[in-house]
């Protein structure tokens, strides 16, 4: 029997430091962690983007059959388009999503929508893609740093099954021993507002992960960069990408990606180990 090709989404999650099934489980035992950012540089409401060195999202090569996650993503997309959720308010956007290939979704979500973002990617079979994830820094009263993030879980995590969760920074870092880290901060606001960003993110702990919830101000479910956008919006009354319309289901592409957040002019990048 031929060896099963690792699923695209499992390879992506591995690139982001999650386990083979997608769960961001804690290490089996405490261990020292090297290579991360010094937490003394963190302030509440900062953002962290992890990425395994050289990690990319590799789609199926031309001529290969559709992967299981592609088929299930398309089935879930069709189900959600048929349910007329609040996030799907524009018929033209719904029609473009209906005809969207899974590979296009990967490019728009993991690379971002702008031409400049796409050209910074790596060309694999004609599609430029890379992994992306973002978490929000929280500082406890005792000074201990935590990371709040919307985390997918399960073998087909992009369809849901995860939650917004909080991890102590050492544990979060230990799950990513060979990652590089980008560190950013919202420009032009004082420390009290940045504290409110982390407090807003923490209000949604335990809520579900949902890649199809396109309304950035809807707080029933999140993907990682949606949680970041909404936390800034509600805490600082600022659209971090200078687009104050949260109903992204009314435009195409409807996702706000981690890479778009990193390259937003309102983000001061404090650590940049490489091009993201």
CATH number of the CATH domain containing 133: 3.90.1720.10
CA 130, CA 252: separation in Å to the nearest integer? 20
Residues 241, 117: contact at Cβ < 8 Å? no
Domains held by the chain: number: 1
Residue 265 lies in a domain: yes
Beta bridge partners of 139: 145
Listed residue (151, 161, 180) closest to 54, CA to CA? 180
Listed residue (35, 41, 236) closest to 145, CA to CA? 41
Residues 154, 145: contact at Cβ < 8 Å? no
Residue 30 lies in a domain: no
pTM: 0.74
Strand 145-151 to strand 122-124: parallel, antiparallel, or no bridges (unpaired)?
unpaired
Residue 44 lies in a domain: yes
Residue 3 lies in a domain: no
Reduced to 3 states (helix: H, G, I; strand: E, B; else coil), residue 2 is coil
Task: Tally the residues of the chain.
Answer: 276
> What pLDDT does 244 receive?
95
Q: What phi and psi values does residue 222 have, to the nearest 5 degrees?
A: -140, 155
Residue 2 lies in a domain: no
Residues 26, 175: contact at Cβ < 8 Å? yes
Residue 75 lies in a domain: yes
Residues 69, 9: contact at Cβ < 8 Å? yes
Question: Using CB atoms within 10 A of its CB, is residue 181 exposed (0-12), middle (13-18) or buried (19+)?
Answer: middle
Residue 81 lies in a domain: yes
- What residues contact residue 122 under an 8 Å CB cut-off, 6+ apart? 56, 128, 129, 130
H-assigned helices in the chain:
8-15, 68-83, 91-99, 102-106, 115-119, 169-174, 191-202, 224-236, 258-262
The strands making up 145-151's β-sheet, listed across from edge to edge, are 163-168, 145-151, 135-139, 47-52, 179-186, 267-271
Residue 26 lies in a domain: no
List per-block mean pLDDT (blocks of 10 residues) for the chain, which spans 276 residues.
42 47 36 66 96 55 57 79 62 82 74 38 38 89 97 57 92 90 96 98 95 91 96 97 90 85 95 86
CA 79, CA 60: separation in Å to the nearest integer? 24
| Domain encompassing residue 169 | 8-20+37-271
CA 254, CA 249: separation in Å to the nearest integer? 5
Which token pair is 225?
């960069």
> What pLDDT does 6 receive?
43
CA 132, CA 275: separation in Å to the nearest integer? 12
Which token pair is 12?
């992506």
DSSP E strands in the chain: the ranges are 47-52, 122-124, 127-129, 135-139, 145-151, 163-168, 179-186, 267-271
């Amino acid at each position: 029997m031929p060896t099963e090709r690792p699923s695209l989404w499992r390879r992506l999650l591995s690139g982001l430091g999650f386990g083979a099934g997608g769960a961001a489980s804690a290490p089996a035992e405490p261990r020292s962690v090297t290579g991360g950012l010094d937490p003394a540089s963190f302030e509440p409401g900062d953002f962290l983007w992890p990425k395994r060195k050289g990690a990319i999202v590799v789609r199926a090569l031309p001529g290969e059959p559709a992967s299981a996650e592609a088929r299930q993503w398309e089935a879930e997309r069709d189900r959600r388009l048929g349910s007329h959720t609040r996030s799907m308010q524009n018929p033209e956007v719904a029609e473009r999503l209906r005809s969207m290939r899974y590979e296009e979704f990967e490019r728009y979500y993991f690379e971002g929508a702008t031409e400049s973002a796409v050209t910074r990617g790596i060309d694999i079979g004609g599609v430029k893609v890379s992994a992306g994830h973002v978490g929000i820094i929280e500082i406890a009263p005792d000074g201990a740093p935590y990371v709040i993030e919307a985390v997918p879980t399960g073998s087909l995590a992009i369809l849901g099954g995860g939650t917004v969760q909080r991890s102590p920074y050492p544990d979060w870092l230990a799950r990513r021993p060979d990652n590089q880290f980008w560190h950013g901060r919202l420009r032009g606001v004082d420390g009290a507002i940045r504290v409110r960003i982390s407090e807003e993110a923490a209000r949604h702990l335990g809520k579900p992960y949902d890649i199809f919830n396109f309304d950035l101000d809807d707080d029933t479910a999140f993907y990682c960069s949606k949680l970041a956008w909404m936390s800034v919006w509600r805490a600082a009354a600022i659209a971090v990408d200078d687009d104050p319309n949260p109903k992204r289901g009314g435009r195409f592409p409807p996702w706000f990606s981690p890479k778009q957040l990193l390259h937003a002019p309102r983000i001061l990048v404090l650590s940049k180990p490489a091009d993201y």
